[in-house]
Structure 1
Amino acid sequence: MGVIMSKEFHRSIDVDGSIKAKAWDFLTKLSQNAELTGLDVKIPKGPADKRVRTARVDLNYRAVLFAVSDDPEPMWLLAAIRPHDQAYEEAQSLVLDINPANGAMEVTRPAKIDATVTEYRKRAVEPDAPQVLPFTPDELVGLGINAEVAEQAVRLTSEDDVLGLAADLPEWQQQALLDLATGTSLQDVRASYELDNTAAPSADPLEAVQRATSRMEFVYLEGDDELRRMLEGDFAAWRTYLHPTQRDLAYRSTYNGPFRLAGGAGTGKTVVALHRAAFLVRKSPTARVLLCTFTRNLAAQLQLDIRGLLGAGESERIDVRGVDQVVRRVVEHVDGAPGQPLGEREQDQLWDEAVHAAGVPADLAPHLGPAFLAGEYRTVVLSLPEHTRDAYLKAKRTGRGLRLNRVQRAAVWRVVEAYERAVETSGRTTFDALAARAARLVGDADVERYDHVVVDEGQDLHAGHWRVLRGLVASGPNDLFICEDGHQRIYGERVVLGHFGIETRGRSRRLTLNYRTTRQNLRFAMGVIGDESVVDLDGDAETVAGYRSAFTGPTPELHGFASDGEEARFAADTVRGWVDGGVSPAAIAVLARRSAEQERARLALKDAGVPVELLQRDGPGNADSVKIASMHRAKGTEFSRVIVIGAEAGVVPLDWVVEGRPEPEYSAARGRERSLFYVACSRARDQLIVTWSRTPSPFLPTTV
């Protein structure tokens, strides 16, 4: 028995997890013999497609499926699971087709498409308004777009109208129309969705389901083991249904050197990174892969995800770690356990004390704040071939902003010496010093290396990290696969990969389609970024041009209050309403810049009777609790509903982080604060609310 599973079937189980076990039981019976196992397979009355059936999942739910083929064995396409009456209604309306233009497998609702087309046909169009799709209907039909939809689509003058018209089309048609509406050429759309296949479309379902466009919504399950693995997982659609561009990037056989993948929040970079790591392990039975990211909580989530994507034997060959864990392990392997790293506040104090101890000239001292000195130490001093004063006096300081003459450099070196003495006296160490030590040790023959390194959140890694990663994998094909988003740089400073022997120019790609959030939320997040200047890991200006989302939702809400208490009560009442309305608590998050706002929200939610917990470092936490988190901790997460509280002047950006810093340190710190707010506002899939008390943050967009 063969099974083709649709993304909609997955969504059915995601919505109601209680039927997951029943779905497995249903599919087990279906695979044995649909006619002999009590599944009550029936043809609905008056179906639009004679192949459609319904079958019993339990007394309350039925599956909607198609009898695709009987030769050489029965094959079923699983379309959905619905409550009993809804299943019959849906079965009557669905049609399974092979697209005549490109051979894609499609399940559609023709009557619903016809009704939408009729509605749009009646709409008047402003005579002078420019078309959003500057193409002919025949050009769109040539791609495989529904002919009646194509006829109306070329009349439309807004992207929202195009998406509304296309709402009931197969997913690939919706996204292709959105691509064209946002400036992508016909040629590029053909290439992205692999529509130039010269082979004639085949009626064979196994051939159709392997088309790039089909694999966005369908998967052929070969054997009971694969079926069981999918059903015993958490049904995350990202594991199976990839956009053709994502699939091409993740499963390309060979990159002739380091590859860099850029893209905004929610564009699927992490999904591609996970699939790339899985592909590299499967490609070679002996390959060892390092999958790393900046923070431990993100690494913990990647570990869970990779285990769901691979079998136990394969996942064991992927080492998933935070980059500082990688650094520490290298140092421990050679030197033994290092001292406990100092925190940021502790280091800041030592830098301030070192400036006073070193006798820095009065005109230079105001420029030597802790952030500048930490950056100078990390990017210049610790990268010196020799750790000496003379080497520092001659060193290139590209990108450091503040120019230093020879006398000033000598003063900075005295500060560095005072700082290092203080760290040594404390018996502690720093993450920067550990990274520098690890970078020198990776050439040691006894240090474990990898065949491939995959990096997520690469924009947050600093110079020492890149030197270590470069040393842990030999240069060559498929050595480094790097994902980054310069607009989410919330740690460290700008770096250029080419300075560390990681050359990605000519081997890079940018993702622009947002899979996480609505168009309204995306527009708000882009407004937070504004015209902030951002540089990518190749040293080029980052852009948000072309970023788009394929689905719509409510407009983000902004609410100001006279006091912190009113703001916290509003947040609690809003969350209480969502939970009472059926939203899963785990799909809700309250995010804040400071711990003070987090604690106020926690107490208010507790008083409102809402189960709540702080977002955990090492996993997703309790499935029955609303999550409260700092903006930093929220990195890499997503939720259906998000409230960002405390978005007020003095908090976003945080005064003590940015005020009093000299240029360019001030601009860099303020840029990181803006990126942090962008990260928080881009966590929401469906609904975003931003609140403040007293004066609103200057980072809030002027329009919503």
Structure 2
Amino acid sequence: MPRTADLPGSAAPSAAPSAGAEAVLAGLDDEQRAAASAVEGPVCILAGAGTGKTRTITHRIAYGVHAGAFVPEQVLAVTFTARAAGELRSRLAGLGVGGVQARTFHAAAMRQLRYFAPRVLGGPMPALVENKLRVVATAAARARLTTDRTSLRDLASEIEWAKTTLATPEDYPARAQAAGREPPFDAAAVARVYASYESAKQRDGMLDFEDLLLVTAFALEEHPDVARQVRAQYRHFVVDEYQDVNPLQQRLLDAWLGGRASVCVVGDPNQTIYSFTGADPDYLLGFADRYPDAEVVKLERDYRSTPQVVGLANKLIGQAPERKSIFRLKLLGQRAEGPEPRFFEHADEPAEAAAVAQACRALVEAGTPASEIAVLFRINAQSQVYESALADAGVPYVLKGGERFFERPEVREAVVLLRGAAAGGSDPGMLVPTVRDVLASTGWVEHRPPPGGAARDRWQSLAALVDLAVDLVAEDPSTDLPRFVAHLAERADAQHAPTVQGVTLASMHAAKGLEWDAVFVVGLVDGVLPISQSLSRPDAVEEERRLLYVAVTRAREQLTLSWSLVRNPGAKRPRPRSRFLDGLVPGSSPTAPAPQRKPKRAKVVLEGEAGELFERLRAWRSSTAQAASVPAYVVFTDATLQAIAEARPTSIQELAGLPGIGARKLDLYGEDVLATVGE
């Protein structure tokens, strides 16, 4: 870190606007111009989705520099991603401004701590923990906990949440309970692991990423000479995505400021979606209370999306509980008219995925680049059915914000075990129960999904393998385990092919900050969105609503929202569509509960001997399906059984002439059907 004496700008800069400064403001709308020219004192920019937030804050910095209010090297702009920091630097360079420090919180803290470590820590900068899971594993073992990779990931997440919210091991249990956390072990056990983890780091002389912020803040708070030097260098601060700041980051920001008020925060209360990681939107919502003289500017002109998409977004977020009027943002669409958002209900998830895949294919064939299309879902485990559907439709895709399905650790482990089981042979007709048994050996329990976090993602991934086995048996009842393993290998190989121009598959969280011409928001059922873990807490449900708002506002022109009545074909209990769609789906009411419609089934009305035979056939079908561990419709549909009951065939030839009966089903079930008819 350069010494203050080496920095330019020791004299107070002039604030007289120049011609260059006025030129920077050219091309901004009235609200952007007001925000960009507000360079004195505390400033809060409430920037709605698509309103030109990055353009505004870069022009504000450039205006301040050209007007003489800022010395570039004395400005620190902090963001949440390295990509966003790079974008800020690039745009500032385009405006003729260099020297501004645009960094993430962690990068800024690391730079400062590395410089001041000899003074603060008595030696060089400590090494950073490279493998947090390894340290957590050691701490868990000392706490006598039995763990696997999934529970270790969840423990690491809990420790990160505790540290970002400034919770110590001693007060973690009470804080976790108050926050509604669902840790992988009881809170007292997590606290023991947390304490052991901290001791292990201290013993090895290492820091983790949370420590970077904590120790830097401590250095500024407890070392006046360090504070003076840092505060002399950085006199003006800009904080992007301020709605996502956590208590640890706010503590560091306060230490940087040292009671000064030259800070500009930028955020959107409607896009607060990271409370589960420790983010606290109250810092944004309470900014005007902390700084009564703050200038608050709203950016509501949406240049990203069509008025139709904007209208739906406004209606969605307008159903949330009222906030103070100062924090209410209502987007105003600035683009030309576009198509109305579309809503689709499907019988089951595979049908929903197939419809989305075909719609993506139609868009690509009509000239929309595949990279300008996205499919957004609530949890990563939902990706598999869309990966399969897009592959079947011949549409390339890329995964954003998560590992490819077949590269996930639990899936790789399962495939290895399935391959080993297949080497020992497989009984025809036993694929699904065999897959279930193999997965059960990993600790997977079919009807007991974990409450949330990485453990639930793992459960969903393994459940998707079972669903895939069921689908293959539905297509070909003779599919055995070796053929299933070969099919998995083919899919894995296809996913490794380059798909740079593919349709983006992403979770709603991973989609934040991105945009596409066409967006499909899928899987919109209660229990998924809002996710089941949130249903007991109104504030958590509202965060789920904001997550859907983020997904909706990713679309520039075309927006499709869909849901399916059941997860798997043949399931009998329908799922209600997401409560957030009430009042959005044409004809629905924002106050009425979402209707729970059952899938349409073939209506069978037979009397006399035909009716009796139909019931016998259904009983035979039920026992046959149960023995093969497949849904009943995989054997024969009700419509086919009705045709058999009405025709009463007495030979294979007569049976073959009925609808729904092919050669394979004749081979598998023909003799049994004729025997049932002849009873």
What SS does the aligned partner of 1:609 have? coil
Structure 1 pair 247–351 and aligned structure 2 pair: CA distance change class (3 A): farther
**Per the alignment, in what secondary structure is the counterpart of residue 345 of structure 2?**
strand
- Alignment counterpart, residue 508 of structure 1, candidates 296, 302, 326: 296
Residue 339 (str. 1) matches residue 129 (str. 2): yes
In structure 1, the gaps of 5 or more residues are 1-209, 221-238, 358-368, 403-410
Q: Is the 8 A contact 1:525 1:682 kept in 2?
A: yes
TM-fit CA distance, 1:505:
4.8
Q: How does 1:91-490 map to 2 (within 5 A)?
A: 241-252=27-38, 254-255=39-40, 257-282=41-66, 283=68, 284=70, 286-307=72-93, 309-311=94-96, 314-315=97-98, 317-333=99-115, 334=117, 335-340=125-130, 342=132, 378-379=164-165, 381=167, 416=191, 419-425=194-200, 431-443=209-221, 444=223, 445=225, 449-473=233-257, 476=260, 479-490=262-273
Q: Which amino acid aligns with 1:321?
A: R
Q: Which residue matches 1:668? A: 539
Distance 1:379 1:543 in 2: 24
Distance 1:609 1:381, change over 3 A: closer
Does structure 2 retain, via aligned residues, the 8 Å contact 1:470–1:502?
no
Secondary structure at 2:579 match in 1: coil
Once residues 557 and 349 of structure 1 are traced to their aligned partners in structure 2, the CA distance between those partners, rounded to angstroms, is 51
Contact conserved, 1:262 with 1:510, CA < 8 A, in 2? yes
Count of residue pairs the alignment pairs up: 422
Q: Is the 8 A contact 1:586 1:622 kept in 2?
A: no
Aligned residue in 2 for 1:649: 526
CA distance in 1, matches of 2:557, 2:29: 21
1:150-204 CA deviation, whole Å, 9 max, x = no partner?
xxxxxxxxxxxxxxxxxxxxxxxxxxxxxxxxxxxxxxxxxxxxxxxxxxxxxxx
The secondary structure found in structure 2 opposite 1:496 is helix
Q: 1:583 to 1:302 in 2, by over 3 A?
A: farther
Relative to structure 1, is the Cα distance of residues 258 and 520 closer, same or farther in structure 2, using a 3 angstrom cutoff? same
The residue identity in structure 2 corresponding to 1:440 is F
The CA distance in 2 between the partners of 1:529 and 1:451, in whole Å, is 37
State the AA in 1 paired with 2:547: L
Quote the Cα distance in structure 1 between the aligned partners of 2:156 and 2:326.
28
Q: CA deviation at 1:482?
A: 0.7
Distance 1:322 1:378 in 2: 15
Match of 1:184 in 2: none
SS in 2 for 1:442: helix
Do structure 1's residue 636 and structure 2's residue 513 form an aligned pair? yes
C-alpha separation in 1, matches of 2:400 and 2:499: 9
Q: Does 1:658 align with 2:534?
A: yes
Q: Deviations over 1:469-508 (max 9, x none)?
A: 233346556x211111111111123333669996265421
Instruction: Pick one of 371, 374, 377 that aligns with 1:586.
Output: 371
Q: What TM-score does the superposition give when structure 2 sets the normalisation length?
A: 0.53
The answer (yes or no) to whether the contact 1:590–1:628 under 8 Å persists in 2 is: yes
Report the AA paired with residue 437 of structure 1. V
Q: CA deviation at 1:436?
A: 2.6
Name the SS for the 2:359 alignment partner.
helix
Identify if the C-alpha distance between structure 1 residues 377 and 584 changes in structure 2 by more than 3 Å, giving closer, same or farther. Answer: closer
The yes-or-no answer on 1:687 pairing with 2:564 is no
> Could you tell me which residue of structure 2 aligns to residue 519 of structure 1?
307
- 2:480 corresponds to: none
Residues 629 and 290 of structure 1: CA distance in aligned 2, closer, same or farther (over 3 Å): farther
Contact 1:597 1:645 in 2 (8 A): no
Hey, what's the Cα distance between the residues in 2 that align with 1:436 and 1:286?
Answer: 26
RMSD over aligned CA atoms reads 4.6
Q: Distance in 1 between matches of 2:289 and 2:161?
A: 21
Instruction: Tell me the secondary structure at the aligned position of residue 578 of structure 1.
Output: helix
CA contact (8 A) 2:46 2:327 kept: no
User: If each structure's strand is expressed as a fraction of its own residues, which one has the higher value?
Assistant: 1
**1:325 deviation in Å?**
3.4
- Indicate which of 555, 572, 576 corresponds to 2:361: 576
Residue of structure 1 in register with 2:643 after alignment? none
**2:273 alignment partner, SS class:** coil
Per the alignment, do residues 463 and 641 of structure 1 end up closer, same or farther by CA in structure 2, a change over 3 Å counting?
same
TM-score (norm 1): 0.51
Gaps (5+ residues) in structure 2?
1-18, 118-124, 147-154, 181-185, 403-497, 566-574, 586-679
**Which has a greater percent of helix?**
2
Alignment correspondent of 2:317? 529
- AA at the equivalent of 1:673: E
SS state at 2:102 partner: strand
Counterpart CA distance in 2 for 1:648 and 1:266 is: 27
- Offset at residue 300 of structure 1 (A): 4.7
The equivalent residue for 2:601 is none
Cα distance in 2, alignment partners of residues 488 and 355 from structure 1: 40
CA distance 1:332–1:305, shift in 2 (3 Å) = same
599 and 631 in structure 1: CA distance in 2 versus 1, 3 angstrom threshold: same
Q: 1:625 to 1:370 in 2, by over 3 A?
A: closer
CA distance in 2, matches of 1:518, 1:531: 21
Residue type of the partner of 1:569?
Answer: A
- Aligned residue among 331, 340, 344 for 1:555: 340
Partner of 2:645: none
